[in-house]
Amino acid sequence: MRKSVFILISVMLAIGIGTAFLVARGLSDFDLAEHSISEVSFELEDTVLSGTLVMPIDAINPPIALIVHGDGAQDRFSNGGYLPLINTLVDAGIGVFSWDKAGVGESTGNWLDQTMDDRADEALAALQAISALDDINADQIGFLGFSQAGWVLPRVANQTTPAFTVIVGGAVSWRDQGTYYNRVRMMSEGVPQEDIEQRLADRILRNDALFDTPTAPAPTTDMDAARSRFVADAYWENSTDIISGMKGPVLAVWGGDDLNVDAHSDFEIFREQLMPLTEDRLVVMVPNATHGLLRANLFNYQLASDWPWYLQYVFLGIGRDAYAPQSLQQIAEWIQASAE
């Protein structure tokens, strides 16, 4: 009996120590103190964009990934959500520059006033700003973008030749993406299938009429005026015809369980437009992964705000391990190989 109790206590201690080690490692993924950090600002017309450049210590001419955000009022680290990704990249010898969207954090302006052309101009201005810094090899700078970057980065890579372009969860058609998103949303809410299809058909007819005008529409029932104008400028966005013109190495990645964009349809569009596929032009579907490549069995929600309260602590506790296995490593290895 005494021996059994001793074994049980020993096992519990081992589990506790192992858990504490993993949590400590996970929390360290939210700390950039081990890297070289500098603040960088750049201008675009009357807007000043402010961001942070994170570099591997003692690295000589490392590749640098410029982060292009998805939708929403995102700061440079996406409220801390980017930090495990950034730490993974920098640990792999890749610098990262990310900036507050216009009107967010320390940046001036208003991101809701931007078109996708404006966002592409902003990314090009960031490229120019980082290229002009001392001890930076401009030939090693590329882009890593998420979701809405599916409309931004194909524009950028048609205008210049980045060292690399990585698009994660990129959407191709704004109109189709919205339909897919709302279908998934209604299914999760338990709306009957026949009602879903009717609501979606009605929504498409209404939005097509609303946004097929040269002037900004009035607010709709679920959007304020600023958001409505932003959507009006983007509603007919479709990057299909410009994907094939992208210059430089391209890696397009989706999570197989994406709830935000129709990953399998967009995967096929990118695959067809980037043909012939080579090591420099890859299209990848990551199994059991979310829109942002997190583990789908834990984090598959359309919005981080949908997460149950406890998942925030899980994410903090496991850091980079929240991502689907090997997904970040594959991106880092591909960037290193493409920038050589």
The last residue of a domain, from among 205, 236, 267: 236
The last residue of a domain, from among 236, 257, 273: 236
Q: What is the pLDDT of residue 27?
A: 86
Distance (Å, rounded) from C-alpha 48 to C-alpha 43?
A: 5
Q: Do 66 and 54 fall within a single domain?
A: yes
| Single pTM value for the model | 0.91
Whole-Å CA distances, 284 to 242, 250, 278, 293, 308 = 19, 11, 12, 11, 29
Q: Is residue 255 part of a domain?
A: yes
Q: Is residue 23 part of a domain?
A: no
Average pLDDT, the chain: 91
Q: Do 144 and 293 fall within a single domain?
A: yes
Kindly give the interhelix angle for 149-159 and 116-131, rounded to the nearest 10 degrees: 60
Whole-Å CA distances, 149 to 37, 116, 168, 170, 174 = 25, 9, 8, 6, 12
What spatial distance separates the first Cα and last Cα of the chain, rounded to whole Å? 62
Q: Do 84 and 128 fall within a single domain?
A: yes
The CATH number that applies at residue 106 is 3.40.50.1820
Q: Which of 251, 226, 45 is nearest to 163 (CA)?
A: 251
Query: Rg of the chain's alpha carbons, rounded to an integer?
Result: 21
Distance (Å, rounded) from C-alpha 248 to C-alpha 142?
A: 9
Q: Do 161 and 286 fall within a single domain?
A: yes
The last residue of a domain, from among 189, 204, 236: 236
Q: Is residue 21 part of a domain?
A: no
In a 13 Å sphere around the CA of 7, the CA atoms on its Cβ side amount to 4
Q: Do 232 and 261 fall within a single domain?
A: no
Q: Are 269 and 240 in contact (CB under 8 A)?
A: yes
Distance (Å, rounded) from C-alpha 339 to C-alpha 210?
A: 44
pLDDT of 10 over the 60 cut:
no
Q: Do 185 and 307 fall within a single domain?
A: no
Domain carrying residue 219: 174-236
Q: Is residue 198 part of a domain?
A: yes
Q: Do 133 and 178 fall within a single domain?
A: no
Q: Do 164 and 257 fall within a single domain?
A: yes
pLDDT tens digits, 225-268: 899 899 999 999 999 999 999 999 999 999 999 999 999 999 99
Number of domains forming the structure of the chain: 2
Q: Is residue 298 part of a domain?
A: yes
Q: Do 256 and 335 fall within a single domain?
A: yes
pLDDT tens digits, 34-61: 999 999 999 999 999 999 999 999 888 9
Q: What is the pLDDT of residue 217?
A: 56
pLDDT of 304 over the 60 cut:
yes
